[in-house]
Structure 1
Amino acid sequence: MARRDTQVFYPTYQSFVPKLLDRPWTAQDGMDPDELNTQVLASVAAKQLEDFGNTATVSTIAPMALLEFYLALGVSEMMETNHFFFDPDELEIRDTMVMFVEDADETMVWGIPLDQVSLPDPMVYRRSVGAEAPDNIGGWEASEATVSELIADILTWNYPEEDLD
Structure 2
Amino acid sequence: MSEMFLEKFRALVPKYLEDKWRPEDGIPAAELDEMLEEHDFSIPLVLREFYLALGGCEDLMEAFHFFWDPDELEIEDGYLLFLEDEEEKFTWGFRADQLDVPDPIVWRRNNARGGWQSEEGTFSEYTFDMFEWVFEEDED
Question: After TM superposition, is the score higher than 0.5?
Answer: yes
Quote the residue 1:141 is aligned against: 117
Gaps of 5+ in 1: 47-55, 131-136
Count of paired positions = 138
User: Where does structure 1 differ by over 4 angstroms across 4 or more consecutive aligned residues?
Assistant: none
How do residues 125-136 of structure 1 correspond to structure 2 at under 5 angstroms? 125-129=107-111
Equivalent residues of 1:14, 1:73 under 8 A apart: yes
SS, match of residue 27 in structure 2: coil
Larger-Rg structure: 1
Equivalent residues of 1:14, 1:25 under 8 A apart: yes
Quote the residue 2:37 is aligned against: 41
The offset of 1:93, in angstroms, is 0.8
Equivalent residues of 1:10, 1:72 under 8 A apart: yes
Quote the residue 1:115 is aligned against: 97
How do residues 81-96 of structure 1 correspond to structure 2 at under 5 angstroms? 81-96=63-78
Gaps of 5+ in 2: none
Cα RMSD after superposing both structures: 1.7
Q: What code does the residue aligned with 2:43 have?
A: A
How do residues 1-165 of structure 1 correspond to structure 2 at under 5 angstroms? 5-42=1-38, 46=39, 56=40, 60-76=41-57, 77-129=59-111, 138-160=114-136
Percent of paired sites with the same residue: 41
Equivalent residues of 1:61, 1:114 under 8 A apart: no
Q: Could you report, residue by residue, the CA deviation over 1:50-78 in whole angstroms, capped at 9, with x for unpaired residues?
A: xxxxxx2xxx3310010000000001132
The structure showing larger relative contact order (alpha-carbon pairs under 8 Å, at least 6 residues apart) is 1
